[in-house]
């Protein structure tokens, strides 16, 4: 079954404590991306990757890092989380530069 | 700044009617256009895409594109209560960093009344 798997699904943490949200896809897709979704602001792209070792900033990259060492994995790293990064996060993958499959989402609360 | 405008709704239609969802975009360089459906509390799912001016039909869904007017729409025929969701419009344009990327609208909430 085609899947994009995100972990954790829910996380409550505190300001400044480094965290990583993992994303893995089993479709051999070259394209992967991270979005955050906030009420009234819609889906905004954080980072994307067109292939292994190739990553680029999206519209709201500040405060986030990513890496793409393997095709299937695209983790999102918050080195020093702040309350304004409280949001619903989605990872997505696709064959070309558009998201075809989304993960179930990760709801982050940063206190 | 690439703008994608959608009426936030809610758009209420009776069951069996045609729902018409509209989207305008600012980036004239947009090449392809995608529609996603997002049920409350769920992740978006890709339902339609269109590249060329005109209409594209897929089952009960029809996407319409007019690049000159920078307008794309999604028609849902014979609307069902299960179509009640938020519909996201996403034009794909040149990112300036060597690739094409999507910009999402904020979505139109559709409610189909039984």
Would you say residue A97 has pLDDT above 90?
A: no
Minimum distance, in Å, between the CA of residue B57 and any CA atom of chain A: 19
* pLDDT at site A86: 98
A52 pLDDT above the threshold of 70: yes
What pLDDT is recorded for position B97?
66
When pLDDT is cut at 50, 70 and 90, the band that residue B2 belongs to is confident
SS (H, E, C) chain A: CCCEEEECCEEEECCCCCEEEEEEECCCCCEEEEEEEECCCEEEEEEEEEECCEEEECCCCCCCEECCCCCCECCEEECCCCHHHCEEEEEEEECCCCCCEECCCEEEEEC
Distance CA B63, CA B21 (A): 9
> Is residue B98 over pLDDT 80?
no
* Separation of CA A87 from chain center: 11
- CB–CB of A42 and B106 under 8 A? yes
Average pLDDT over residues A82-111: 95
Per-residue pLDDT tens over the stretch B12-53: 999 999 999 999 999 998 989 999 999 999 999 999 999 999
Contact criterion met (CB < 8 Å) for A97 and B100? yes
Q: Is there a cis peptide before residue B5, judged by omega within 30 degrees of 0?
A: no
């Amino acid at each position: 079954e085609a899947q994009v798997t995100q972990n954790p699904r829910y996380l409550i943490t505190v300001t400044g404590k480094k965290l990583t949200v993992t994303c893995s896809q089993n479709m051999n897709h070259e394209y992967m991306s991270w979005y955050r979704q906030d009420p009234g602001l819609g889906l905004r792209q954080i980072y994307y990757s067109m292939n292994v070792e190739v990553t680029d900033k999206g519209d709201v990259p500040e405060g986030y890092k990513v890496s793409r060492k393997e095709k299937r994995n695209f983790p999102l790293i918050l080195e020093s989380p702040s309350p304004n990064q409280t949001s619903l996060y989605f990872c997505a993958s696709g064959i070309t530069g558009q998201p075809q499959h989304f993960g179930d989402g990760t709801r982050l609360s940063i206190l | 700044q690439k703008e994608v405008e959608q009426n936030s709704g809610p758009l209420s239609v009776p069951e069996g009617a045609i729902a018409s969802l509209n989207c305008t975009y600012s980036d004239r360089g947009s090449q392809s256009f995608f529609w996603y459906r997002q049920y409350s509390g769920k992740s978006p799912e890709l339902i339609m895409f269109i590249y060329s001016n005109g209409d594209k039909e897929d089952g009960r869904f029809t996407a319409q594109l007019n690049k000159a007017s920078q307008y794309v729409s999604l028609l849902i025929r014979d609307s069902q209560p299960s179509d009640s969701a938020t519909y996201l419009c996403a034009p794909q344009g040149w990112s300036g960093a060597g690739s094409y990327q999507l910009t999402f609208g904020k979505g139109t909430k559709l409610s189909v009344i039984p």
